[in-house]
Structure 1
């Protein structure tokens, strides 16, 4: 397999992992937390947020756009073709998801962490109200965008294999 194909495979795998993560939050993690008390919700999300900030998650989250851009650049250097549009579409969709993460989710995550120990917070219900609905709504958007990016890269792989 050529360097372009390897970059495309890495991009697809990383994007698929990120799409799966956000989909899992949308379909299981947040619905599960939503059934808990305010204190358990805040404490649970704080613990998840601390655990998810790790090198493995960062590798997939940052590796996806880097590998996608590399795949697009290598394909462009080879003269372009039908898979280039799908790869660039994936890059745009993923870029929109990253923008949402930085503009919505990271500030909300910092806000819920700043609340401190929910067992000692005077208004833990207010902390949850200021966080939950907006975080969940925009995470669904992230899940859709990253899944669409994953689909574009899968199709780009199909086209690459057919070439």
Structure 2
């Protein structure tokens, strides 16, 4: 097995880990949290947002951001192969649609929530939840969708032949 194929396998693995995390969160956690009262919802999201910042999460979330471009570069040939184009597309989709949306959207919302003092009135709790929940869930849906697309592209790269595309 070549280094390029090992990098491809690692990129597929980390992309799948994050896609699975986001998908599972969408299918279970968001629905359960949505049923909580305001104070419980905000406290749970604060705890989750703090807990997710751990080495295992960073390994897969940031690992994908490193491994996809590395694998793309390693699979470049002249003329380029279909595998290269699938990986290039996966890299762009993940970088913009998953990582970019997370950093530009979800993280600022998480940071604002983290600094919110839960020891306040029911009115303020309700206001903070309204500012956080719908925008965060919308952004989470966007990044989940794009991560799934990136995963499909990586899986296609794994199964397509490495032969270069020949101009006709």
Structure-1 separation of matches of 2:28 and 2:79? 43
Residue 104 of structure 2: aligned partner:
103
In structure 2, runs of 5+ residues without a counterpart are: none
Q: 1:42 maps to what in 2?
A: 42
CA distance in structure 2 between the partners assigned to 1:29 and 1:152 by the alignment: 26
Structure-1 residue corresponding to 2:138: 137
Q: CA deviation at 1:33?
A: 0.2
Aligned residue number for residue 65 of structure 1: 65
Preserved CA contact (<8 Å) 1:115 1:121: no
Contact 2:8 2:71 in 1 (8 A): yes
Per the TM alignment, residue 30 of structure 1 is displaced from its structure 2 partner at its CA by 1.0
Query: TM-score normalized by structure 2?
Result: 0.91
- 3-state SS of the aligned residue for 2:120? coil
Aligned length: 161
Change in CA separation of 1:78 and 1:7 when aligned onto 2, cut-off 3 Å:
farther
- 1:23 has 2:42 as partner: no
Superposed structure 1 runs of 4+ greater than 2 Å apart: 77-80, 160-163
Gaps of 5+ in 1: none
Which whole-Å deviations, capped at 9, do the CAs of 1:27-67 have from their partners, x for residues lacking one? 11111100010010000111111110011100101111211
Given the superposition, is the C-alpha separation of residues 34 and 10 from structure 1 closer, same or farther in structure 2, using an over 3 Å criterion?
same
- Distance in 2 (alpha carbons) for counterparts of 1:15 and 1:44: 26
Give 2:53's aligned residue.
Answer: 53
**In structure 2, the residue corresponding to 1:76 is in which secondary structure?**
coil
Alignment RMSD (CA, Å): 1.6
Matched residues in 2 for 1:15 and 1:79: separation? 26
Structure 1 segment 76-91 matched on structure 2, within 5 A? 76-77=76-77, 80-91=80-91
CA deviation profile, 1:124-159 (whole Å, cap 9, x unmatched): 111111000000011011001001101100110011
Displacement of 1:121 in angstroms is 1.9
Cα deviations by residue, 1:54-99 (Å, 9 ceiling, x for unpaired): 1110010111121111111111157631101100010011011111
Higher RCO, 1 vs 2 (CA within 8 Å, ≥6 residues apart): 1
